[in-house]
Homo-oligomer: A and B are copies of this chain.
Amino acid sequence: MRTKPIVSEKMVERLSLYRRLLSDLRDNGREHVFSHDLAALVGGTAAQVRRDIMTIGFSGSPSKGYLVAPLIDSIDDYLDAPGGTRVALVGVGNLGRALLTFFLGRRPKLSIVAAFDRDPERVNRVTCGCRCHPMNAMPAVIAERDARVAILTVPADQAQAVTDELVRAGVEGILNFAPVPLRVPPGVFVEEIDITSSLEKVAYFARQG
């Protein structure tokens, strides 16, 4: 197995986006694509697309650019864990259900395998295609399902406590929607999606434009 360089966060985001757009192109019967085509779709520059593709060790040709299907395979190779990544979701409110529905069957290599909530009304029922477990079952279910990554969609005041428990259960990456920064030990990766900040940012820059 060849070694792959660990790349920047931004580059991973771009690769993820390329893959999605390339899949659309493939489904529409496109077999090759030029760097400037991809650049236009992502809203970036052709040079950056070329550099990204070069970094993952894929080659194109001046005459027809890049072959779509092999490029997708190359990105798969790069981004996906060989056996796939199993995800746990904590907090089955409106946002949690939206995410469950969205990811249901979307990517076989990245699937939500368990959900948790503290509301007894929701526990032990199947919601949006996923069984909802009680909070105290987290360690056992996460171990049994081998979930390495978690999505956090609980209220702010529970976020840190749930995080501590997730880390104790062996989770190594968290996508945090709770509006508060999380403290985690080294080696655990956290991505914060701060919807309030994002909206305030849009409001700020909208009136500057």
Could you list which residues of chain A lie within 8 angstroms of chain B, going by C-beta atoms?
Answer: 6, 9, 12-13, 16-17, 20-21, 41-43, 79, 81, 85, 87, 93-95, 97-99, 101-103, 106, 110, 148-149, 151, 171-175, 179-181, 183, 186-191, 193-209
Contact = CB atoms under 8 A, between A and B. Distances in A.
Contacts of A85: 203, 206-207
Given A95-B95, A98-B94, A199-B110, A205 B173 contact: yes
Given A17-B197, A191-B202, A6 B79 contact: no
B110 A16 contact: no
B201 A13 contact: yes
B174 A189 contact: no
Contact of A98 (B79, B95, B187, B201): B95
A114 to B, nearest CB: 15
B201 A12 contact: yes
Given A12-B201, A174-B202, A195 B196 contact: no
Contacts of A106: 196
Contacts of A20: 179, 196
B204 A12 contact: yes
